[in-house]
Each structure stands twice: as structure tokens, then as C-alpha cells.
Amino acid sequence: MNVLAIKRLTKKFGDFIAVDDISFSVGQGEIFGFLGPNGAGKSTVIHMIASLLSISSGEIELLGKNIAKHRHFAKSNIGIVPQELSIYEDMSAYENVEFFAGLYGLRGAQLRKSVEEALAFVGLGDKRRDYPKNFSGGMKRRLNIACAIAHRPALIIMDEPTIGIDPQSRSYILDSVKKLNEMGSTIIYTSHYMEEVEEICSRIAIIDHGKIIAEGTKAQLTSIITNQSHIRIEVKSGERVELEGLKAIAGVRSVEREGGWIKVSSDAEVNNLNPILRVLTALDAEVIAVESDRPSLESVFLTLTGRSLRD
């Protein structure tokens, strides 16, 4: 069952078309990635899903209900982690989560339990009485997440949740996202960091200038530009290495010499680096360096738009 269905969604600001006739769906239990450069329209799409912006045309259905007609239902079942920190610095961590969770109808013992669980989940259980103004950037980001998940929404929207934080905190947040998903949450994750999206998302849509230019799993997306991966291996006296053994490895399409390098082209979805190295070892070839040339989402975006994701 689809948790979210977007049908021909458009958003105009005057004459400017920020989101241009996009359609996609998010299945139950998916982590759906929304990848695109700054200004592509990612935040505009999720703000429409969260009813923060009106829709110019099209439809959004959450759990089968049109959100424009069932606004209260839709809002009750969505949790949003905004790109900007959305917390009160003059209220404690506990008070922040309690306040926002209370707006979703949680009361009494159930509210307290949900708040404690949310804070524990993001690793701020022992900081419940502390104030965000004394938190590090990573801790504030975690509190930002706690405020979104306390009411156990059917759909969690995370808009660039790791912006501006240290790698350790980023790793913690990505692990938290995976854990949430394992617990059954459906997540929409937007980012312009391809590595994050590649790591955690089951399906990805690439958006640029308000349009979805590609959608699918990572393998499906990379196959748009190529169905091969390339490994280049620098071997001492490589010109004397027999190549037939390498050609026989599963998935290998071609083997070529490039000066002192051996280039092995394989099917994109096959990871055969270890077998290749074993064959070379068996041939007494001395491996000096290895380079991998696997297609990434960055290269997919570059191929489709002529620009890099970081532009």
C-alpha cells in the first residue's frame, strides 16, 4: 500500500513554476530519497505534503486520503524534521518535545511515555532538563528529530537533517533514520548529499528545476547512464600478465591493457573486485594500485543535467 501518492503536483509563485507537474509514490516502510541541488524544489514539495504551502494544482494523498480535504487527518499523521532547526531555545529538551507532541493530541501518561521514548531514541534522554541553547549543533539536530517522531507519525519527512553538523553526528542521525525504518516508519529523506541518499534510501527521485528527472532504485538510476562498472589495476610488469583468467570471472565483460594498467569492465551490479585480485595473485602479479570507477548518483545527475549536484 502506498503511504503517499503525489499526482501531477504543481506549485507556482506568480509566474515562477517551482514544482512542475511531478508524480511519485512512497510505499509502506520505504525510505524514499529526494535528491537534487539547492533550489531544485525539494523543500517546496515537502512543504506542500506537510500542508505548509498551498497546492497550485494536482493532488496529494496520504494513506489514501486527499490531504486538501482531510487536512487534520493528514497533519496528524505526518512528522516533519525541517531543514532549519525548529526548537525553542528557552524551553528544555523535554518541554520542547512535550509541547509539540501535545499538539498532536497526546495527553497524560501516554504523552510522557512518548516524550521519554523520543528523547531516548535520539540519545538525549539524559539531557531532558537541559536547554538547547547549551547544546552542540548535532544535539540540536537530534532534538529537531525527536520533536518530529514523538507522536509516531505514519510518514516522517526529513528535510536535509544533517546540514552543518560534524561527521559523528551525521553518522548518528543516519543510523537513527535506518532504525526508525526498521521499526516500521515510512520516511521521505531529502538531501543534496548523494552519499547519504545512496546509503539509506531504498528508492530515489532526482529533482531539478521543479521536475523529477529520474526515479528508481540506485541500480536503476545508475543503469540510465551506464550498465557497466570499471576497475583499473596498476600491476608491476603488467604487460606480461595473462588476461584470459580475468576474462573468465563472472560478470566481466572486457579486459584491456592501458600501459601499466589493466582495465576490467564488468556488469554494473556485480561486485567482483575480490575475484579479480585473487586471479592476479595466482598469476604472481604484483598489484601496485586499484581504482574503481563505479557510476554514482552524482554522475547520473551530471549526465542528465550537465551539472554536478554541488553546483
Partner 1 sequence: MNIIRIAIKEVKVFRDVRMLVFMLATPILIMLILGTALSNVFNGSAAIGEIRILYENGNMSSMLESRWNKLVQEASGSGIHFEPASNREAALQDVQAGRYTGFATIAEDGISYTGNDRIGVENSIAQGVLAAFADDYKLALAMADGASVEGVPLSSTALRADYVQEASIDGGQQPSAMDYYAVAMTTLIIMYSAMTAGQLMDNERKRHTDIRLLASPVSRMEIFIGKIIGTLLLNGVFVLLIMLFSKYMFGVNWGTSQLTVFLVLASQIVYALGLGIGLSYIIKGNASGIVLMLIIQLEAMIGGSYFPADVLTGFFGALSQLSPMKWTNGAILQLIYQGSAAGVAPAMLFNIGAALVLLTLSVLLLRRREGL
Please say which residue, 111 or 214, places its beta carbon nearer to partner 1: 111
- Binding to partner 1 in span 86-105, by CB under 8 A: 86-91, 95, 99-100, 102-105
Among 4, 30, 67, 75, binds partner 1 (CB under 8 A): 75
Q: Counting contacts by CB under 8 A, is residue 216 touching partner 1? A: no
What does R_g of the chain's alpha carbons equal in angstroms? Answer: 24
Whether the Cβ atoms of residue 289 and residue 277 lie closer than 8 Å to each other:
no
- Note every long-range contact of 270-276, with CB atoms under 8 Å and residues 24 or more positions apart, other chains counting: 270/229, 273/231, 275/249, 275/250, 276/231, 276/233, 276/246, 276/249, 276/252
What is the C-alpha to C-alpha distance for residues 79 and 90, in angstroms, rounded to an integer?
Answer: 22
Please say which residue, 76 or 303, places its beta carbon nearer to partner 1: 76
Please say which residue, 42 or 75, places its beta carbon nearer to partner 1: 75
CA atoms 84, 87, 90, 94: torsion sign: negative
Three-state SS at 311: coil
User: How many chain residues bind partner 1 (CB under 8 A)?
Assistant: 29
Task: Kindly state the smallest distance separating residue 75's Cβ from partner 1, in Å.
Answer: 4
Q: Which stretch binds partner 1 (CB under 8 A): 70-78, 207-215, 236-244, 283-291?
A: 70-78
In sequence order, which residues have a C-beta less than 8 Å from that of residue 131 and are 6 or more positions away?
Answer: 89, 90, 91, 92, 93
Q: Counting contacts by CB under 8 A, is residue 41 touching partner 1? A: no
| Nearest alpha carbon to residue 111 among 125, 97, 92 | 97
Please say which residue, 51 or 191, places its beta carbon nearer to partner 1: 51
Q: Counting contacts by CB under 8 A, is residue 82 touching partner 1? A: yes
Inter-CA distances, 99 with 71, 148, 151, Å: 21, 11, 11
Task: Kindly state the smallest distance separating residue 132's Cβ from partner 1, in Å.
Answer: 10
Cell numbers describing residue 298: 552524482
Q: Which stretch binds partner 1 (CB under 8 A): 20-28, 55-63, 67-75, 236-244?
A: 67-75
Q: Counting contacts by CB under 8 A, is residue 4 touching partner 1? A: no
Whether the Cβ atoms of residue 82 and residue 144 lie closer than 8 Å to each other:
yes
Task: Kindly state the smallest distance separating residue 113's Cβ from partner 1, in Å.
Answer: 18
Task: Kindly state the smallest distance separating residue 52's Cβ from partner 1, in Å.
Answer: 5
Q: Counting contacts by CB under 8 A, is residue 129 touching partner 1? A: no
16-27 and 31-35 beta bridge pairing: unpaired
What is the C-alpha to C-alpha distance for residues 192 and 42, in angstroms, rounded to an integer?
Answer: 10
- Binding to partner 1 in span 44-63, by CB under 8 A: 50-54
In the stretch 147-166, what mask flags binding to partner 1 with x, by CB under 8 A?
xx------------------
* Contacting positions for partner 1 (CB under 8 A): 50-54, 71-72, 75-76, 78, 80, 82, 84-91, 95, 99-100, 102-105, 147-148
